[in-house]
Amino acid sequence: MTALHSIISLLLTGFYLLVVAYLIKGWAALKRVNITAAALNTKVTILIAARNEEERIHLTIEDILAQDYPKQLTEIIIVDDHSTDNTASIIRSYADRGIKLLQLNEDKPLNSYKKKAIAEAISLSNGELMVCTDADCRMGTKWLSSIVGFYESRNLVMISSPVTYFEERTLFERLQTLEFSYLIGIGAAFIGNGRASTCNGANFAYRKDVFYEVGGFKGIDDLASGDDELLLQKVAAVYPNKIGFFKNRDAIVYTHAKHTLQEFLQQRRRWASKSTRYKDKKVVALAVCIWLFNLSLLANGFLSFFSLSIFKVFIIQFLLKYLIELTFLLPITSFLKRANLVMLLIILSPVHIIYFVYVGLMGNTRKYSWKGRVVR
């Protein structure tokens, strides 16, 4: 029994190594793109869905207003999703600078208020390219022009761009930044390998006509989350070769890690809840196998107290996991100018095993809290 257990554990380890090697290849395939200062002519609509963001939304708005993209080609629509604080008032105060406020007023409860907010904004928009971000994000002045330059030069229908955390105050938040870099790298690497599967809605752009062509959020609007990844997969089914990841530092969007463990777990359970709805079932199968690999690590770590042979298997698994993840993360964190964070991988790796198994279970079996609402 011990021999069979060890063989299964090592097979799962080998599979994980192959998966991460595939990701390393995909990230390397994404070449740094330098956008020229040539005249850009795409009409853009920037979309933000906001709920109770009074603390930081003014910073996001100021960053967007400071963009070097032509003002006559820029439309900014912010949807207030039933905020109970001063979010709407802050947005309204920018009306004379071109910020359009749309307030949701839904009589019946919804499970996906954010998708409703985005869909309503798109229906009122005048732009060709929808550029989505979040109400607590920051960006440099070339963010919009670089994305549009990439869009025009590559003839794409959808663009995923980099997101990272910043202004961390604790070790817990720095660990989140490293783990989040891994997630962003996965989405980018899949696109680099020609198989779009994941992205982040804090830095996401797509053509308006393509949004309607694939039916918008129809079929995925029963989930609170998924305005990014599930839409990406709908578009990928129609335009598999027209989706790009923009590997350019000017395009990076910055946001903040969660301050508490409870907030972090709620967020990750929300993200995990989308996985069973992925259109590409091969990606679902891949995620299940990775979950089983982490489960085997967790089980072997516990059984190591009772068996020396299992302890040896556990050490081999853990070291190989650490080394392949280090190889994957070094170029990603270097691109994000956060290469120093990889020193924390030795701390993150064992914690990540427990967290990954937990979130994989809870994300698909329980409701979670998001923006003061309990959703699924």
Cα 21 to Cα 163: distance, rounded to the nearest angstrom: 22
* pLDDT higher than 70, residue 375: no
Percent of the chain with pLDDT over 90: 75
Indicate whether 319 and 263 sit together in one domain: no
- Structure tokens given for 103: 């307030």
Indicate whether 135 and 245 sit together in one domain: yes
- Structure tokens given for 13: 């380890």
Give residue-wise pLDDT tens across range 153-182.
999 999 999 999 999 999 999 999 999 999
Return left, alpha or beta for 215; rule: phi > 0 is left, psi -120 to 50 is alpha, else beta: left
Indicate whether 146 and 223 sit together in one domain: yes
Q: What is the pLDDT of residue 369?
A: 57
Q: What is the mean pLDDT of residues 355-367?
A: 76
Indicate whether 240 and 363 sit together in one domain: no
> Which residues, at least 6 apart from 34, have a Cβ–Cβ distance to it below 8 Å?
248
- Structure tokens given for 185: 């790298």
- Structure tokens given for 222: 């029963």
Question: Where does the pLDDT of residue 195 fall: very low under 50, low under 70, confident under 90, or very high at 90 and above?
Answer: very high
Q: What is the pLDDT of residue 376?
A: 52
Indicate whether 247 and 356 sit together in one domain: no
Q: What is the mean pLDDT of the chain?
A: 91
Stretch among 166-170, 212-216, 274-278 having the lowest mean pLDDT: 274-278
Does residue 119 lie within any of the structural domains?
Answer: yes
Indicate whether 323 and 341 sit together in one domain: yes
Place of tokens 């946001």: 255
DSSP, res 34: P
- Total of domains in the chain: 2
- Structure tokens given for 197: 């599967």
Indicate whether 289 and 244 sit together in one domain: no
What is the domain range of residue 313?
2-26+280-371
Cα 161 to Cα 248: distance, rounded to the nearest angstrom: 8
Q: What is the pLDDT of residue 367?
A: 61
Return left, alpha or beta for 139; rule: phi > 0 is left, psi -120 to 50 is alpha, else beta: beta
**158-160, strands of its sheet edge to edge:** 99-103, 74-80, 44-50, 129-134, 204-207, 158-160, 243-245
* 356 closest CA partner among 296, 316, 302: 296
Q: Length of the chain in residues, anyone? A: 376
Whether 65 contacts 93, CB under 8 Å: no
Question: Where does the pLDDT of residue 295 fall: very low under 50, low under 70, confident under 90, or very high at 90 and above?
Answer: very high
Q: What is the pLDDT of residue 102?
A: 95
Does residue 69 lie within any of the structural domains?
Answer: yes
Q: What is the pLDDT of residue 106?
A: 72
* pLDDT higher than 60, residue 372: no
> Which residues, at least 6 apart from 296, have a Cβ–Cβ distance to it below 8 Å?
8, 9, 12, 13, 317
Q: Which residues of 267-298 are buried (b: 16+ CB within 10 A; e: fewer)?
A: bbbbbbbbbebbeeeebeebbeebbbbbbbbb
Q: What is the pLDDT of residue 46?
A: 98
> Where does a domain end: 242, 276, 310?
276
Indicate whether 213 and 232 sit together in one domain: yes
Q: What is the mean pLDDT of residues 147-157?
A: 94
Dihedral sign computed on CA atoms, order 263, 358, 274, 233: positive
Does residue 376 lie within any of the structural domains?
Answer: no
Q: What is the pLDDT of residue 373?
A: 52
Cα 238 to Cα 158: distance, rounded to the nearest angstrom: 11
DSSP, res 167: -
Indicate whether 178 and 235 sit together in one domain: yes
Whether 248 contacts 35, CB under 8 Å: yes
Q: What is the mean pLDDT of residues 99-106?
A: 90
> Which CATH number belongs to the domain containing residue 73 in this structure?
3.90.550.10
Indicate whether 236 and 201 sit together in one domain: yes
Q: What is the pLDDT of residue 10?
A: 92
Stretch among 16-25, 104-113, 179-188 having the lowest mean pLDDT: 104-113
Does residue 216 lie within any of the structural domains?
Answer: yes
Give residue-wise pLDDT tens across range 303-356.
999 999 999 999 999 999 999 999 999 999 999 999 999 999 999 999 999 988
Stretch among 164-178, 211-225, 359-373 having the lowest mean pLDDT: 359-373
Angle at which helix 345-362 crosses helix 308-335, to 10 degrees, equals 100
Pairing of strands 158-160, 204-207: antiparallel
Q: Give the max Cα distance, the chain.
A: 72
Burial of 38 (0-12, 13-18, 19+ CB in 10 A): exposed
